[in-house]
Structure 1
Amino acid sequence: MVCAAPASAQNVSATRPDSIAAVLKARGLPSELKQGDGNPYIRSAYDDMPFLIALMNCDDAKANCATVQFYFGFNDRKGFSLDKLNEWNAKKRFVRAYRDDDNDPVLVMDVDTDKGGIPQAVFNENLSVWLDQMQQYRRFVTE
């Protein structure tokens, strides 16, 4: 008798960056796990747009992370209008835009993968939303 693997085995979790990398690779996107001074992150890109997936809410050992934050920013649009960013945020639901500490416009989206992770299909849908919003944000900031 063959038993099916438990559903949680197919879940995507910030605690298991390899599960995130697998979804990215299945979509044909690059995936490179990095460990900086802070929390670990995954470097990727889509449509000539580099982005990061920061592993957040980690324990003191920078492991066992609970959430991810998708991050995309510009470094050549310093001082982008706050009124325009407010316009963006008023119309968008799942992502938010702001100016970072260097006065650059950035876009972020948070996904909670705590308590055992989320199904691959759900993470994949979040990734689709992110990729679409990133393209829209690039057009918005560069027009």
Structure 2
Amino acid sequence: MKLNWKYASIAGAIVMAAATPLPASAQTVSAASPDTIAAVLTARGLPSELKQQPDGNPYIRSAFDDMPFLIALMNCDAQKAQCKTVQFYFGFNDRKGFALEKLNEWNRTKRFARAYLDTENDPVLVMDVDTDMGGVPKAVFNENLDVWLGQMQQYRRFVSE
């Protein structure tokens, strides 16, 4: 059996191309590139809609388990682009006057996400993620998203007690 070196070379090139890692930018998630955040949400089956606040700051609207939440893109440049951090935000507008003692209990006993009363006296939950310096690996962002989604579920139960 005679080996055809031309086809062997092509096959070898295909294998090498498949084994070549993607560029770092394709493997990272960054507030400077909101589409990378949207792609993670979409891959997880979560809705993703890029919006702007009245002051022009960008955010992403999403939802999980019938709970709407926002991902605010923060620490942006003057053009409201090239953002460095994100803040996950989840709140209740039907729990006015929620006890500060209960929020302090949450903050004392939980890690990663913090709770407070917003300017309209609604209990909210936030979690910050720094994506500066070229972004974070997609796996790390997914882990942060897992933490956030779990915290949201716990917080919903907490404020409903």
The one-letter code sitting in structure 2 at the alignment partner of 1:31 is S
Please identify which structure carries the higher helix content: 2
1:112 aligns with 2:130: yes
Question: Which stretches in structure 2 are left out of the alignment for 5+ residues?
Answer: 1-12
1:96 aligns with 2:107: no
Aligned residue in 1 for 2:5:
none
Q: TM-score, normalised by structure 2?
A: 0.86
1:15 aligns with 2:35: no
Aligned residue in 1 for 2:139:
121
What is the alpha-carbon root mean square deviation over aligned residues?
Answer: 0.9
Structure 2 counterpart SS, 1:62: coil
The one-letter code sitting in structure 2 at the alignment partner of 1:100 is D
Out of 50, 58, 61, the residue aligned to residue 68 of structure 2 is 50
The one-letter code sitting in structure 2 at the alignment partner of 1:127 is L
% same residue:
78
TM-superposition CA deviations, 1:24-66 (whole Å, max 9, x none) = 0111000000012231000000000000000000001000000
1:30 aligns with 2:30: no
Aligned residue pairs: how many?
143
Partner Cα distance (2:132, 2:21) in 1: 23
The one-letter code sitting in structure 2 at the alignment partner of 1:69 is Q
Q: Residue 127 of structure 1: CA displacement?
A: 0.2
Q: Residue 6 of structure 1: CA displacement?
A: 2.3
Moved over 2 A (4+): 1-9
Q: Which has the larger radius of gyration?
A: 2
The one-letter code sitting in structure 1 at the alignment partner of 2:142 is N
Out of 90, 99, 102, the residue aligned to residue 81 of structure 1 is 99
The one-letter code sitting in structure 2 at the alignment partner of 1:115 is M
Q: Residue 5 of structure 1: CA displacement?
A: 2.3
Structure 2 counterpart SS, 1:5: coil
The one-letter code sitting in structure 2 at the alignment partner of 1:74 is F
Partner Cα distance (1:63, 1:85) in 2: 33
Structure 1 counterpart SS, 2:150: helix
Q: TM-score, normalised by structure 1?
A: 0.97
TM-superposition CA deviations, 1:107-134 (whole Å, max 9, x none) = 0000000000000100000000000000
Question: Which stretches in structure 1 are left out of the alignment for 5+ residues?
Answer: none
Structure 2 counterpart SS, 1:58: coil
The one-letter code sitting in structure 2 at the alignment partner of 1:84 is K
The one-letter code sitting in structure 1 at the alignment partner of 2:53 is G
